[in-house]
Amino acid sequence: MRSVRFGVLVGVVCLATACAGGAVERPAVRGALDVSTRFPAPRRLVAVGDLHGDLEATRRVLRLAGAIDERDGWIGGDLVLVQTGDQLDRGDDEPEILDLFDRLAREAAAAGGAVHVLNGNHEFMNVKGDVRSVSPDGFADFLDKPVPGLAGAPPETVIAAVLARIKAFKPGGPQALRLATRNVVAVVGNTVFVHGGVLPQVAEYGVERLNQESREWLRGERPCPPDLLLGPDGPVWSRHYSKDTDEADCRLLAEALEKLGASRMVVGHTVQKDQVTSGCAERVWRIDVGLSRHYGGPSSALEIVGDQVRILRAP
């Protein structure tokens, strides 16, 4: 009963925090894009899928990638690490994961490597005040004083915790500003990385433009996200390339890749059974293996060295 009440309270607060409609989009200024979206091909790249608040699973897959040592320090040298979003929700270790990747990005840069973390649908859900997938501890982290067993706490305490988290993640809030340093889409060498998938209309719109406008929204500089970002065919929600792709899906993929000047796409978002999978003659790779405690999947990642793509699996 307590968990039901907790869920109801969270849902009520969510309903009150939607983005106001009727906002007017600012016209695009094609010559003023200042967000880096494209990066040169590295010697070695490893891509990691959804982490969902599980620090131990995160550590395991980063060690599998050769990115960190037993003390969580960067040992990847010039490795480029890409994490395709959904660090938030479902698990209790979100702050630790966010902090870890921020630190690793600095350490990697100092060693000649790089860490690119993308925003997924769960990051944007939190920014929009949709916190239905947050664990009780994920709310308690934002209270001034820790409250053990928040799911059984008085309604006023639960509501205060939910509102505190929503405030932190709302556009312009401290956590939204942190997410504003991240892209939605990154192109590294000839590979496109995105949480859900880039369809042709998004490629035509411009992934550089989408990255910039998304960051502007996260910083509180525009009233609502760009229209193409959060729809069912948007880059963080699309599942066109994530399941059993048919001929029509592969045509969409080929068109999007041609517009982007790329050879393959790497996506997360949709849990694959047992291991990383591919589709459309290996032009799309799906790296969400459900490795967090919530799903119980294996530790697995994708390695790209030159033109060679290899699945990394835990022994």
> Domain residues of the chain, as ranges?
34-127+171-313
* Phi-psi map region of 14: left, alpha, beta (phi>0 left; psi -120 to 50 alpha): alpha
pLDDT the model gives residue 3: 53
Question: What phi, psi does 89 have (nearest 5°)?
Answer: 75, 160
Range 284-298 average pLDDT: 98
Kindly tell me if the per-residue pLDDT of 24 is higher than 50: no
Query: Catalytic annotation on 294?
Result: no
The pLDDT, as a whole number, for residue 138 is 94
Average pLDDT over residues 125-147: 92
Per-residue DSSP letters for 43-73? Answer: S-EEEE---TT-HHHHHHHHHHTT-B-TTS-
* Dist. CA 148–CA 3, nearest whole Å: 14
Is the pLDDT score of 28 beyond 50?
Answer: no
Summarize the confidence of residues 256-283 as an average pLDDT.
97
Confidence of residue 11 (pLDDT cuts 50, 70, 90): low
pTM over 0.85: yes
Q: What is the reported pLDDT for 4? A: 44
Whether the per-residue pLDDT at 135 is higher than 80: the answer is: yes
User: What is the residue-averaged pLDDT of the chain?
Assistant: 91
The answer regarding whether domain 34-127+171-313 maps to CATH 3.30.565.10 reads no
What pLDDT, on a 0 to 100 scale, did the predictor assign at position 13?
A: 56
- The predicted structure's pLDDT at residue 274: 87
- Catalytic residue, chosen from 122, 195, 240, 269, is 122
